[in-house]
Amino acid sequence: MPPRPRWWHILQESRRQACIAIDFYNRPGDKGSYLDFVVHMHIAWQNLLHADFEKQGIDFTYKGKDGRPLKTKDGDTKTWELLRCAEEAYSETDPVRKNIEFFVGIRNKIEHRFQKSLIVATGARAHALVINYEAELTARFGDDSSLSSELRFPLFVQSLTPEGVDEQLKLRKKLPAKVKTYITRFEADLTDSVKESERYEYRVLLTPLKGPKSEADLAVTFLRADSLTDEERQDLTNRSRTGTVIVTEKQRDIYLKDALTPSRARAEIAARLPYVFQQYHFTQMWQKHGVRPPTTDPSKERTDGRYCLYNAAHDNYVFTQAYVERCVKEIDTAEKFRAFFGKDPVEKSGDS
């Protein structure tokens, strides 16, 4: 068996750090540590993006004026920190990036004696941090890399009684002033679309499941909204058939300012490259990135909303400026082009 590539080892460390982080979060009482959760998720995210950059052939090391890699005090090569990685991987207004930036900023503001209050105030963002991680993990490295086989739904008693709700409110009031100030200032610069996005803050409501139990029941049942009839959706709403999570396929707003047709997106990428970039190159890129479903997939709306959106009115797809930027960065040198497509680029002729 040939040796594993370097990115694979970086990815395994990322997954290990994520599991450690979630374990710290779910531990009861004083055994848990929100600070350790944040620190280990920070490492997990950084390694995840490093692994992806390594796989894509993106150099994520800092260079000196002489072009040589800079070294840390310990003699190791100095690589991009998480914020720099997020800048490379996501657009400035991406909710995933804003969620990461929130936790980078709050990391040094966590005090052990106030961590319960902080969990109450920021727990929904912590859920988003983990859910985003899992989504990026499988999107970039496939379903086999998922943490689903490592984790399980935790048992808890938080907010299941009126007394529990009162306790949560009391804890929120104990939040240190500097943390309240940080949260207020951070969110003041966010757009409503980011603040309302589940990729920035993931909020759920859980209530007990009633009725007869079947052998096939799980603690939590997941249903896709598009798999239900109108009557079934209304029945679940009216009767509060709890314990079921309905996964909704959101209808994205496709008329964004930077929305581009495939041919326009291809043209913008080509204009910024020194060599030929045809439509078939663009098709290969979105297929490899998985930003939209295959043509034969009936669920046409399942796109990566950061990069591609489905236009139901015209039954076609449009791409964002962020995707143009991503594509250019991945193939803007002959070496990168060769690594992505497996062949040398063709230089543009004088009249191209």
Encode pLDDT of 12-32 as tens digits: 999 999 999 999 888 876 777
CA distance 342 to 116: 52
Residue 149 has pLDDT above 80, yes or no: no
| pLDDT-based confidence at residue 234 (cuts at 50, 70, 90) | low
> Residue 44: in which H helix or E strand, if any?
helix 34-56
Indicate the range of 177-181, 203-207, 313-317 predicted with least confidence: 203-207
Which among 139, 124, 148 is positioned nearest to 15, based on CA atoms?
148
For the chain, give the mean pLDDT.
79
- Name the pLDDT band for 171 (thresholds 50, 70, 90): low
Tokens of 106: 């709050």
In the predicted model, what is the mean pLDDT of residues 318-325? 90
Residue corresponding to tokens 């914020």: 83
Which one is predicted more confidently, 51 or 349? 51
**Cα–Cα dist 340/288, whole Å:** 9
pLDDT at 242: 43
Residue 210 pLDDT grade (very low, low, confident, very high; cuts 50, 70, 90): low
Global confidence as pTM: 0.58
- The larger pLDDT score, comparing residue 93 to residue 40, is at 40
- Of these ranges, 16-20, 134-138, 206-210, the one predicted with the greatest mean pLDDT is 16-20
User: Would you place residue 209 in the very low, low, confident or very high pLDDT band (cuts 50, 70, 90)?
Assistant: low
More confident residue, 310 or 43: 43
Identify the CA nearest to 233 among candidates 246, 221, 243: 246
Listed in sequence order, the DSSP H helices in 189-296 are 192-195, 230-239, 262-271, 279-289
* Per-residue confidence band for 166, with pLDDT thresholds at 50, 70 and 90: low
| Nearest by Cα to 53 from 330, 283, 288 | 330
For residues 176-213, b (16+ Cβ closer than 10 Å) or e, as one string?
eeebeebbeeeeeebeeebeebbbbbbeeeeeeeeeee
